[in-house]
Amino acid sequence: MNILARVKDFLTYWAVKITHGMLTCREADQFMVDYLEYRLDPQVRERFENHLENCICCRNFLTAYRRTIELARACAEPPVPAAGPRMPPALMEAIIAARKGVSPPS
Ligand SMILES: [Zn+2]
């Protein structure tokens, strides 16, 4: 493809973007948080999603952004105990004694 054909394709690409009201990447970036939190107007959401369909960079950025939020939330959650809570010794003795039909020591 010669340089003039490339320039023509580039200009056509941008002309279509402008005439169809497609968001630029910079504009789309401003809507990422509101998109993930379902706070966009339906019209803006549709324009944003149209942009995502045509822009691998913004799709990748949104995926990374979403994953970052998930990891941050996971770090904020309390850790899960590895072996569960330990049973108090007195309770353990009471259970063993009950199974033997013996009263536990007091
Ligand atoms: Zn983009």
For 52-67, the pLDDT digits (tens) are 999 999 999 999 999 9
pLDDT tens per residue across span 63-82: 999 999 999 998 988 776 66
Q: How far apart are CA 2 and CA 41, in angstroms?
A: 43
Q: Please tell me the distance between residue 28's alpha carbon and the centre of ligand 1 in angstroms.
A: 6
Distances (CA, A) of 57 to 31, 51, 75: 15, 10, 27
Residue range of the domain that includes 70: 3-100
Q: Please tell me the distance between residue 81's alpha carbon and the centre of ligand 1 in angstroms.
A: 42
| pTM summary value | 0.53
Is 24 within the bounds of a domain? yes
Q: Please tell me the distance between residue 97's alpha carbon and the centre of ligand 1 in angstroms.
A: 69
pLDDT band at 105 (very low <50, low <70, confident <90, very high): low
Is 79 within the bounds of a domain? yes
Q: Please tell me the distance between residue 57's alpha carbon and the centre of ligand 1 in angstroms.
A: 6
Q: How far apart are CA 25 and CA 59, in angstroms?
A: 10
The DSSP code for 20 is: T
Is 88 within the bounds of a domain? yes
Listed in sequence order, the DSSP H helices in 1-106 are: 3-19, 25-30, 32-36, 42-54, 56-76, 89-100
Is 44 within the bounds of a domain? yes
As a whole number, mean pLDDT of residues 8-36 equals 78
Q: Please tell me the distance between residue 5's alpha carbon and the centre of ligand 1 in angstroms.
A: 23
Is 105 within the bounds of a domain? no
Q: Please tell me the distance between residue 47's alpha carbon and the centre of ligand 1 in angstroms.
A: 12
Is 17 within the bounds of a domain? yes
Q: Please tell me the distance between residue 76's alpha carbon and the centre of ligand 1 in angstroms.
A: 30
Number of domains the chain contains: 1
